[in-house]
Amino acid sequence: MTLRDVSEASGVSEMTVSRVLRNRGDVSEATRTKVLEAARELGYVPNKIAGALASSRVNLVAVIIPSMSNMVFPEVMTGITEILDETELQPVVGVTHYKPEREEAVLYQMLSWRPSGVIIAGLEHTEAAKAMLGAAGIPIVEIMDTDGEPVDSAVGISHRRAGRKMAREIIDSGYRRIGFLGTKMPLDHRARKRFEGFTEVLAKAGLEIVDSEFYSGGSALAKGREMTEAILKRNEEEPLDFLYYSNDMIAAGGLLYCLDKGIDVPGEIGLAGFNRIEFIDGLPRRLATMDSCRIEIGRAAARIIAQRVENPQEGMGEVITLEPSIELGDTLKRRKKPL
Amino acid sequence: MTLRDVSEASGVSEMTVSRVLRNRGDVSEATRTKVLEAARELGYVPNKIAGALASSRVNLVAVIIPSMSNMVFPEVMTGITEILDETELQPVVGVTHYKPEREEAVLYQMLSWRPSGVIIAGLEHTEAAKAMLGAAGIPIVEIMDTDGEPVDSAVGISHRRAGRKMAREIIDSGYRRIGFLGTKMPLDHRARKRFEGFTEVLAKAGLEIVDSEFYSGGSALAKGREMTEAILKRNEEEPLDFLYYSNDMIAAGGLLYCLDKGIDVPGEIGLAGFNRIEFIDGLPRRLATMDSCRIEIGRAAARIIAQRVENPQEGMGEVITLEPSIELGDTLKRRKKPL
DNA sequence: CTGAAAGCGCTAACAA
DNA sequence: TTGTTAGCGCTTTCAG
A46/B252 CB distance under 8 A: no
What Rg do the C-alpha atoms of chain A give, in angstroms? Answer: 26
Q: Map residue A264 onto helix, strand or coil.
A: coil
Q: Can you give the pLDDT at residue B69?
A: 82
Q: Map residue B335 onto helix, strand or coil.
A: coil
Nearest partner of B29 among B20, B42, B38, B21, judged by Cα: B20
Q: Which residue of B has its CA nearest to A50?
A: B53
What's the rounded Cα separation, in Å, for the pair B78 and A70? 12
Helix and strand counts by DSSP (H, E) for chain A:
12, 12
- For chain B, say whether A77 makes contact (Cβ under 8 Å): yes
What topology does CATH give the domain B55-158+294-322?
Rossmann fold (3.40.50)
What topology does CATH give the domain B3-46?
434 Repressor (Amino-terminal Domain) (1.10.260)
What's the rounded Cα separation, in Å, for the pair A258 and A254? 6
Q: Which of A43, A111, A219 sits opposite B278 (nearest CB)?
A: A219
Per-residue pLDDT tens digits for A34-80: 999 999 999 999 999 999 999 999 999 999 999 988 888 989 999 99
Per-residue pLDDT tens digits for B256-265: 999 999 999 9
Mean pLDDT of A143-156: 98
Mean pLDDT of A84-92: 96
Nearest partner of B242 among B194, B170, B309, B307, judged by Cα: B170
Q: Map residue B156 onto helix, strand or coil.
A: strand
Per-residue pLDDT tens digits for A258-283: 999 999 999 999 999 999 999 999 99
Q: Can you give the pLDDT at residue A155?
A: 98
pLDDT category at A236 given cuts 50, 70, 90 is very high
β-strands B289-290, B326-327: how paired? antiparallel
Per-residue pLDDT tens digits for B158-183: 999 999 999 999 999 999 999 999 99
List of chain A residues whose C-beta atoms are within 8 Å of the C-beta of residue B77: 68
Q: Average pLDDT, whole number, for chain A?
A: 96
Q: Which long-range contacts (CB under 8 A, 24 or more apart) does B146-151 make?
A: B146/B319, B146/B320, B146/B321, B147/B123, B147/B193, B148/B123, B148/B124, B149/B123, B150/B123, B150/B317, B150/B319
CA atoms within 13 A on the CB side of A55: 13
pLDDT category at B134 given cuts 50, 70, 90 is very high
Q: Delimit the domains of chain B by residue range.
A: 3-46, 55-158+294-322, 160-290
Nearest partner of B227 among B181, B179, B177, judged by Cα: B181
List of chain B residues whose C-beta atoms are within 8 Å of the C-beta of residue A74: 68-69, 74
What residues pair up with B243 in beta bridges, in sequence order?
B179, B271
Per-residue pLDDT tens digits for B69-127: 888 898 999 999 999 999 999 999 999 999 999 999 999 999 999 999 999 999 999 99
* CATH class of the B160-290 domain in this structure: alpha beta
Task: Please determine whether the domains at B55-158+294-322 and B160-290 fall in the same fold group of CATH.
Answer: yes
Per-residue pLDDT tens digits for B186-205: 999 999 999 999 999 999 99
pLDDT category at B274 given cuts 50, 70, 90 is very high
Which 263-322 residues of chain B touch chain A by CB within 8 A? 278-284
pLDDT category at A337 given cuts 50, 70, 90 is low
Q: Map residue B33 onto helix, strand or coil.
A: helix
Q: Which of B69, B114, B220 sits opposite A49 (nearest CB)?
A: B114
Q: Average pLDDT, whole number, for chain B?
A: 96
Q: Can you give the pLDDT at residue A71?
A: 84
Widest distance between CA atoms in chain A:
89
What's the rounded Cα separation, in Å, for the pair B290 and B274? 5
* Mutation target vs A (from B44, B58, B68; most A CBs, 10 A cutoff): B68
* Mutation target vs B (from A71, A221, A287; most B CBs, 10 A cutoff): A221
pLDDT category at B252 given cuts 50, 70, 90 is very high
Q: Can you give the pLDDT at residue B337?
A: 59
What's the rounded Cα separation, in Å, for the pair A202 and B242? 50
Q: Is the pLDDT of residue B339 over 70?
A: no
The reply to whether the CB atom of residue B178 sits less than 7 A from any atom in nucleic acid chain D is no
Number of Cβ atoms within 10 Å of the Cβ of B103: 25
Give the CA-to-C1' distance from B55 to C16 in angstroms.
Answer: 36
- The model scores a pTM over 0.85: yes
A281/B109 CB distance under 8 A: no
Task: Please give the angle made by the CA atoms of A145, A147 and A151, to the nearest 5 degrees.
Answer: 75
Residue B291 dihedral angles phi and psi, to the nearest 5°: -70, 125
Which 124-143 residues of chain A touch chain B by CB within 8 A? 131-132, 135-136
Beta carbons within 8 Å of B223's beta carbon, 6+ residues apart: A282, B215, B250, B253
Q: Can you give the pLDDT at residue A69?
A: 81
Q: Is the pLDDT of residue B62 over 60?
A: yes
Residue B72 and residue B249 in contact, taking contact as beta carbons nearer than 8 Å: no
Q: Is the pLDDT of residue B286 over 90?
A: yes
What's the rounded Cα separation, in Å, for the pair A53 and B252? 51
Within 7 Å of a protein beta carbon, the nucleotides of strand D are: 1-13
Q: Which residue of B has its CA nearest to A43?
A: B132
Residue B73 and residue B119 in contact, taking contact as beta carbons nearer than 8 Å: no
Length of chain B: 339
Q: Is the pLDDT of residue B336 over 90?
A: no
